[in-house]
Amino acid sequence: MGTANRKGSAVPLLCTMGALLALLDPVQPTRAPDCGGILTPLGLSYLAEVSKPHAEVVLRQDLMAQRASDLFLGSMEPSRNRITSVKVADLWLSVVPEAGLRLGIEVELRVAPLHAVPMPVRISIRADLHVDMGPDGNLQLLTSACRPTVQAQSTREAESKSSRSILDKVVDVDKLCLDVSKLLLFPNEQLMSLTALFPVTPNCQLQYLPLAAPVFSKQGIALSLQTTFQVAGAVVPVPVSPVPFSMPELASTSTSHLILALSEHFYTSLYFTLERAGAFNMTIPSMLTTATLAQKITQVGSLYHEDLPITLSAALRSSPRVVLEEGRAALKLFLTVHIGVGSPDFQSFLSVSADVTAGLQLSVSDTRMMISTAVIEDAELSLAASNVGLVRAALLEELFLAPVCQQVPAWMDDVLREGVHLPHLSHFTYTDVNVVVHKVRSSTCKVLPATRHLRYSCYT
């Protein structure tokens, strides 16, 4: 019995210590993806194709700066040979499931011995690549293995025997593979640009952060991202999504280069952040005056004996929410509209709750998603507070519904007039964009763009 009492008395102490420890170790924000993408095999082939000029420049600079015999460990004497031309004949990338990438480069050289006809030489490089995530959160492309081979392309028997005597020597793998490492410098700079801080409004920014190294499969390269939002340089703790994010499934007939998925939670967090930034505190102009309003609400006349212009001041009373359904995206706004007079000393005599549902149009321009409020699909006004007596909902809608439905979409469009940056690498853009909204599972939006070929879909 005494032992039980001692245990019971320790409970408050333990709770107090736990509370103090919690204060010393602040709760870390939940790390969960709200967007991501898959670089498809077609997209990988496109990247390889556009990388050929850069690879040729790097290899030409290195190979032509050294003597031809420097490629071979067995050449101990100064060489009279020199490389006169370097051409990347082929460059390809393929996925190695659950491992990484395989890089293949075919390089054509012309080696010119002193006072002799240049000899064509072909270098074949095979390298295994993988992607790691560094302690700074950036992704880095690294070489796992490198296997170069050198072959002469002589057609004459005598020249062929002479060439083989050189090529039979051991290839200096370190020097050739060093060039492969140099080729990765530029892609790694691009990968760092993925986590750049992008502006949304003058005091609001967003950043896409990888949660882990990408997953390699036959479908392509899948990468999950978490979006963080900032207001005035401080990270905004957005509400946790009630639905786990899932990557889109790649259709076998898809011609996209990149499949980008943005969850419904991503959009809701975007508008939540804009609300915290005060972007949706709006002033709505009105054609009403106190004299015209007094004809409908008589007590207004007793408050104001002179004719003054009426002003509507609106603010969100709770966080906005984005709903994605099949073929449709909508923004739900929960506003409080204060009706009053005076500027800058605004005096409200009537407050109205306005629940507004606005359809959204999604498109992509360059690397930005453009969000516009297409039309007000539904709006409901109700009395929140009044200094002029009871006002019926029907009269509120007659007086104030039109300015709310006209001005709220215009205000929203102005806030996001610059668009929202999509995840992207520097020097790349999105073209040939098709935007489709789908509903899958409970609330996961998937947006499907592709580099150069972009499909953009949303699933909820």
Q: In this predicted model, what pLDDT tens digit does every residue of 3-37 receive, in sequence order? A: 344 334 333 333 333 333 333 333 335 678 899 99
User: Distance between CA 213 and CA 220 in Å, rounded?
Assistant: 14
| pLDDT, position 400 | 95
- Examine the pLDDT at 244 and tell me if it is beyond 70: yes
398, containing H or E segment: helix 393-415
pTM: 0.81
Q: For 50-104, what is each residue's pLDDT tens digit?
A: 999 999 999 888 877 655 445 554 555 555 567 778 899 999 999 999 999 999 9
User: Distance between CA 101 and CA 143 in Å, rounded?
Assistant: 9
Q: For 275-316, what is each residue's pLDDT tens digit?
A: 999 998 999 988 999 999 999 999 999 999 899 999 999 999
pLDDT-based confidence at 417, cuts 50/70/90? very high
Give the single-character DSSP code of 70: G
Whether 31 and 441 have beta carbons less than 8 Å apart is answered as no
Report CA-CA distances (Å) from 411 to 25, 283, 370: 41, 9, 15
Q: Using DSSP, state whether 340 is helix, strand or coil.
A: strand
List the alpha helices (DSSP H) in 277-341: 290-294, 299-303
The 3-state DSSP composition of the chain as helix, strand, coil percent (nearest 5) reads: 30, 40, 30
Q: List all residues 6 or more positions away from 88 whose beta carbon is below 8 Å from its beta carbon.
A: 52, 55, 56, 59, 105, 106, 107, 108
Q: List all residues 6 or more positions away from 298 whose beta carbon is below 8 Å from its beta carbon.
A: none
| pLDDT, position 453 | 41
The pairing of beta strand 433-438 with beta strand 454-459: parallel
pLDDT-based confidence at 437, cuts 50/70/90? confident
In degrees and rounded to multiples of 5, residue 199 shows phi and psi of -75, 145
- CA-closest candidate to residue 176, choices 100, 123, 110, 113: 123
